[in-house]
Amino acid sequence: MSDHQLPLTDYQVVCLAGGVGGAKLADGLAQIMPPSQLTIIVNTGDDFQHLGLTICPDLDTVMYTLAGAANLETGWGRAGESWQAMGAVAQLGGPDWFRLGDLDLGTHLVRTHLLHKGQSLTAVTRHLCLHFAIQPTILPMSDQAAPTLVESHGRPLPFQTWFVRERWQPPVSRVILPEDVKATHAAGLALEAADIVVIAPSNPFVSIDPILNVYPIRAMLEDLPQVVVAVSPIVGGQAIKGPAAKMMQEMGLEVSATAVAQHYGDLLDLFVYDRQDEGQFAAAEVTAVCLDTVMTDAASRRRLAQEVLAAAVQFIN
Amino acid sequence: MSDHQLPLTDYQVVCLAGGVGGAKLADGLAQIMPPSQLTIIVNTGDDFQHLGLTICPDLDTVMYTLAGAANLETGWGRAGESWQAMGAVAQLGGPDWFRLGDLDLGTHLVRTHLLHKGQSLTAVTRHLCLHFAIQPTILPMSDQAAPTLVESHGRPLPFQTWFVRERWQPPVSRVILPEDVKATHAAGLALEAADIVVIAPSNPFVSIDPILNVYPIRAMLEDLPQVVVAVSPIVGGQAIKGPAAKMMQEMGLEVSATAVAQHYGDLLDLFVYDRQDEGQFAAAEVTAVCLDTVMTDAASRRRLAQEVLAAAVQFIN
């Protein structure tokens, strides 16, 4: 792998991201890239309507992380959060299984307000990023609703019902993604201009596949000459956070970085797996590099972003 | 005026109420009446959609007051309130002119949630009152939207735009009430069963008239044998709180208890004005009594409620 400093201003980078793991790598990229060269396309498959509000958990996690406003302990929501409104909701017999902090509610209220005024989710996200002083471009994958469903015991569950309300305990037989959802014009333009597309270490099935499912994102990655590099969310046979490992087991897959690489298959030019899996990784059909992928602080996010890009630029011809 | 204790269990009382003044007298009635004998029909003409939520300011003021949860300093909202969500809304460039506290937001979130599930505003209000442990019946005047408009400089303004955003400063030429709004079945039944209807000392033009405008409430008060008694919101030529006096001046009315009595006219069996207006009151066509009407604490609310009912029962035949 190359050791030299990248001339990063030469490249346009798009990062496909879900929630926590995606937000961390996006933050690493934001630390090292000129803002005008970085676009983060975020999963909106787990967005939902709740208590009258439009809630976009992955967009919020990415925004809060890049704004330095994320709650690092919970991995979701805002730092310095309070829970007065949710306490009142519970007192009044309302649904309190999806924990909305008071500060976080501010985001949902403004988003819902602007959507009701007729703005697209892309425009609303631009507005919120402006006020959070976030410089890279954050885009929803689509301005259309694109709800991910999780099939459990033959029954389709709305994503947040399964993920939060049921604490991802019901076993998953498959993920059901909507048909006929279109990417935004802005997301299409960013992908077309990209030299490198980084698939963040988010859940492949419920964070990344929903993005790839949005027309024509998968086709653009297959057909256009960008370098596509994915970082494994499975390290040492476990997910860093969340249900990816449990889902793989339930869907009859091996729980390994190898299986993740095979899941993405031909889409990839390069796969990044963790040093803990050195000697275990066995997807011969994919070019792979072994890096320290576990991001525990700002420095490790930055370092991983740097090393992933350094590996990817080798493939630009 | 009678001095004896009322056998209050003999009477069914309905109170028509707007916000602050209405809530205080409703609270006085609630202190002395058996809960099953008291119904409060509340103005919903100043309800509005804001930040994606359905907000019913007068219903909330009456609920919070009867629940002992009202903010006594501001006259609106909940006691012990915090402002985290609103701070976030402001930070994110959202509209913050209508101050929604965190606890108060809990009410709007639960109401909006239940309305989205298809419940009527009457059912939602029953749900909220149950959870606030409020025993008398609180009813919205209608389950339909019935927005009050205020005409200023020839332009109709939505009520809250005028009242809160513009701090009721634009001069009012007239109040525009919607046509074809129907009372709820529950409100109709309560009025039909009422022995006494108390028109609270709320703003006659933007709190009480919107209730009377809802079909067939005015007709029921005119045609049925209930005793109708109104308490003047104008004392010593001023409104206790809010824009009533300013509006009367702008609409070319004398700012006096007399003018309020004349405004209600034939609807009334009895009018209550304050001792400060003794010797000034001059509406000879209306039977009137002079009482201490200014409610500064729980005891004065209870005393006024008691004295108003004692005066009204004289008219039951």
pLDDT digits (tens, 9 = 90+) for B162-210: 999 999 999 999 999 999 999 999 999 999 999 999 999 999 999 999 9
Which DSSP string do the residues of B255-273 spell out, in sequence order? Answer: -SHHHHHHHHGGG-SEEEE
- What tokens appear for A54 in the block? 């439009």
Residue with tokens 């959507």: A115
The helix (H) or strand (E) run that includes residue A42 is strand A38-42
B171: buried, middle or exposed (CB in 10 Å: 19+, 13-18, 0-12)? middle
- What tokens appear for A122 in the block? 């892309």
Task: Choose, out of A82, A83, A97, A109, the residue to mutate when testing the contact with B (most B CBs < 10 Å).
Answer: A109
The residue type found at A263 is H
Domain of residue A248, residue span: 8-313
Give me the helices (H) in A146-208, please. 159-160, 185-193
Say yes or no for a CB contact (<8 Å) between A92 and B85: no
Residue A3 belongs to some domain of the structure: no
Residue B73 belongs to some domain of the structure: no
In angstroms, rounded to a whole number, what is the distance separating the alpha carbons of residues B289 and A36? Answer: 75
Q: How far is B180 from chain A (nearest CA, A)?
A: 26
The residue in chain A having the minimum alpha-carbon distance to the alpha carbon of residue B130 is: A92
Say yes or no for a CB contact (<8 Å) between A52 and B86: no
The percent of residues in chain A predicted with pLDDT above 90, rounded, is: 92
Residue B82 belongs to some domain of the structure: no
Task: Report pLDDT for A240.
Answer: 87
Mean pLDDT value of segment A82-104: 97
Nearest partner of B291 among B314, B273, B279, B268, judged by Cα: B273
In angstroms, rounded to a whole number, what is the distance separating the alpha carbons of residues B306 and B285? Answer: 25
pLDDT band at A284 (very low <50, low <70, confident <90, very high): confident
Residues in chain B: 317
Number of domains composing chain B: 1
Q: Which residues of B touch A (CB under 8 A)?
A: 49-54, 78, 82, 84-89, 91-95, 101-107, 109-110, 112-116, 127-128, 130-132
Decide if B280 contacts B258 (C-beta within 8 A): yes
Say yes or no for a CB contact (<8 Å) between A51 and B112: yes
pLDDT digits (tens, 9 = 90+) for B143-156: 999 999 999 999 99
Residue B97 belongs to some domain of the structure: no
What's the whole-number average pLDDT of chain B?
95
- What tokens appear for B219 in the block? 């007709």
**Contacts across the A-B interface (CB distance below 8 Å):** 125
pLDDT band at A128 (very low <50, low <70, confident <90, very high): very high
Residues of A in contact with B104 (CB under 8 A): 88
Q: What is the CATH number of the domain that holds A180?
A: 3.40.50.10680
Task: Report pLDDT for A6.
Answer: 58
Mean pLDDT value of segment A247-274: 97
Residue with tokens 């046509």: B179
Residue with tokens 């809250």: B160
Residue B281 belongs to some domain of the structure: yes
Mean pLDDT value of segment A151-174: 95
Buried b (16+ CB within 10 A) or exposed e, B287-317: ebbbbebebeeeeebbbbbbbbbbbbbebee
Mean pLDDT value of segment B44-58: 97
